[in-house]
Amino acid sequence: MNSHTHHRQSEEWHDLPALWRQCVARDADWASLVQRVDPMLRSTLSGLGRSYGVYLNRDLLDEVIQETYVRLLQNDRRVLRGCRGRSGTTILSYLRRVARSTLIDWLRARRALKRGPAVELSIDALDGLAEYVDGFDVPSRASSPLDAIYLQELRRRFRRECWCVARPGGTAPRDIWITERMVVDGWNSREAACVVQLAPATVATVLSRMRRELRRRGLVVPGRLGSSA
């Protein structure tokens, strides 16, 4: 991106914060905001669909776009009000996260209605969703850059062991993700359940089963693998 393009895009989004705040206060036409952000959202959702192994044709993309707008406006515009709109960059980042959360929920709903094998989300997709789920923000457990490096290596080794014991099939990435987050990162069952859309008790059951299989492999897993482990 050259400086001219960057300047043009900066100008294009310069008045977005004011328009956003007006829509929150119901002082502006909602259609004006939709017209402004719709191309960006479509591009974002198309790219996310491809990364999740799903092709969104025009009709399906329209459906997810509408779901995204409904999510922003429902419950007295709760999600729309979740971003204060201090800058165009902040608003665009927020919209992308809402769109990503909406897409994954939409995929889950479609899988629940379809017969045949489920199309499960990858670990990378779950990691992406974990960054933001309907306003529920789980902080990183890494307390320092050194701790973060340690966790990265620990995660790599732990995930390799989990792949060896996970049940074959579409739920393996989900089960590995749950185990990794709860053991390596110290998440609780409520936090993990918020991402994978399962009951906390079901998440706890998954973790218990994975621990049992890891023990059979000779790996005793404590409650949480801390930085001093």
Q: What's the rounded mean pLDDT across residues 187-211?
A: 87
Confidence of residue 69 (pLDDT cuts 50, 70, 90): very high
Instruction: Select the more confidently predicted residue: 54 or 223.
Output: 54
pLDDT digits (tens, 9 = 90+) for 137-192: 455 555 566 666 766 777 788 888 888 888 887 788 889 889 988 888 888 888 88
| CA dihedral of residues 75, 19, 93, 10 (deg, nearest 10) | 170
For 50-68, give one letter per residue: b (16+ CB within 10 A) or e.
eebeeebeeeebeebbebb
- Please work out, in degrees rounded to the nearest 5, the angle formed at the alpha carbon of residue 220 by the alpha carbons of 192 and 150: 65
Note the pLDDT tens digit of each residue in 83-141: 877 788 889 989 998 998 888 888 777 665 554 444 566 676 677 656 645 444 455 55
Look at 117 and 53; give whichever has higher pLDDT: 53
CA atoms within 13 A on the CB side of 129: 29
Residue 229 pLDDT > 70, yes or no?
A: no
Q: Please check the confidence at residue 222 and state whether its pLDDT lies above 80.
A: no
pTM above 0.75, yes or no: no
Contact 91, 18 (CB under 8 A): no
At 4-45, the pLDDT tens digits run 444 444 455 678 888 888 888 887 778 888 999 999 999 999
